[in-house]
Structure 1
Amino acid sequence: MKAATCESSIGHNSQRESERWENVIEQALIHTEAMLEDSNSLYYYHYHRIRYKGMAMHIASKYGRFDGLRVLDIGSHQLHFITVLHLLGANAQGIDVGVFTEAPENRCLSARLGISNQTINSLEMDLADFLLGKTYDIIVFSEILEHITFNPRRMWNAMLQSVPQGSILVTTPNVFSLHKLPGYFSRLFLLSGYGIKVEEIISTITYGHHWKEYSVHELKQYFKLLGRDFEAEVFTVEGTDIFKGAWLASALRSFLISVTNHIPLLRFQIFCWVRPGRTISR
């Protein structure tokens, strides 16, 4: 009976701690939104807000704190998540391509918060040199993996060496997310093609495409193929959607996402914690 009471107490404490973090993170999200003035930035923020919250909750669960955590956000984009981290007390810095780091609204926000947000125009060519001699508790690699078109070994090795006692938090869309499947199958049925549409290749800058989206199985295989230096915990998380475009299509998309939140294999998003394996010298 005493053991059961003890376990129950631990469970309640864990739940209360999770609720406390959820409230703290929610306040950081609200303050972050209040700082955004550009309409496109606000739309992107609303679209990805549940991802930002999920990432922060997973960091809180894993580390139990934000204060003093050294975090590098690779692909800081419009500074949404790095702002959340900063407000929560992390020592966060970002890197991204110049089109984002040099955007006036991003430069203004980074200066206002005192956040370092540097330009790295090529992950393949420049990231390893940037990371040389630097160490972090967490590297955030969010919504980047699906854009990569080069052999990633050197990039991953450089990141792994920079978190000798830490982890890399990866997020990427789930290729099996149910709301995407009707589009895949309709294009196959109509024999119009598969993968990225031709008009998207012509109209969008190269690193803007999702060249390869992954399943949970593929991501596990991905890190296994990179070698024993990599330990990866891969799982799906819930997603959300906001209306844009044709009403019926948007409504159907939102409905499918809400349904698949209850089906892990078909959920909207994949999260992955990557950390050094046993063969990495610490």
Structure 2
Amino acid sequence: MDRVQGQVGESALRVRNAACRGGTYPLGCYCGACGIRPADVRRARRERVVMRTRLMSLVALAGAASAICAAPAAAAVSDQDTMFVRSIHEGNLAEIAAGNDAQQHAATTCVKTVGSVLVRDHSKLDTGLKALAGKLGTELSATPTAAQQQDLDSVRARAGTAYDSAWLKVQDDAHVGALALIDKEISSGRNTEVRAAAKAARPVVAMHLAMVRGGTCHTSKDPGTVRAGTGGYLAAPTPDTDTYRTLGAVSLAVGGLLAAIGAACMVRSRRRTAKKR
């Protein structure tokens, strides 16, 4: 009988110790039977949760940081970008002045109409361009260039004689030059926002060129509405590869931050649950 009781006692001790190690904490397991206290085990569990959460947060933030570093720097501005912004702004000023002058001195309705279109579109384009220049810290001129002003004066001097043909010739040359600047910026500009402004302006300038090409007036080329902007701002260009890469990087960064916040909330919830126990 004593032998049977001894076997039963040893078996019960093994079961109790195994249960203690498994975390079920049978009564008395902390008093020397297994050498582990329930409070110590709970604290170890909480520490493991905290360490695992911290690791998850670090991994998420590291991934976001890597994605951001891999994205192209939109703020980098080259000399070409700066020259483009200044040149197009001066061109806008010249076109607005020429359009206003045509409405006063042109002999034909067609040239007067084209002049009003230039004022409308270049005013919108320049509003967006000035906002971009302010963001980039690029100083802009308050007047057209000396050469552009000379052309304006030369055409104005022909008022009442050959004004319309002279005006159309100057506008033809001006828009051909503007398109060349725009295409150069699109192909080799560094700053993504400046390139986007060039892409938004190109169809507008191309439409203006079609209206005066060859020194002949064509009001039928004006669609009435152009992608020159809304509320004085540049219209959104078609996203290019750089834009998609930037958006992807920002999405990863936001995802990493959300993961960190969610992990922190999970830790707090588990701590509250542990305290209730």
Greater strand proportion: 1
TM-score by length of 1: 0.24
Greater helix proportion: 2
TM-score by length of 2: 0.24
Greater relative contact order (CA < 8 Å, ≥ 6 in sequence): 2
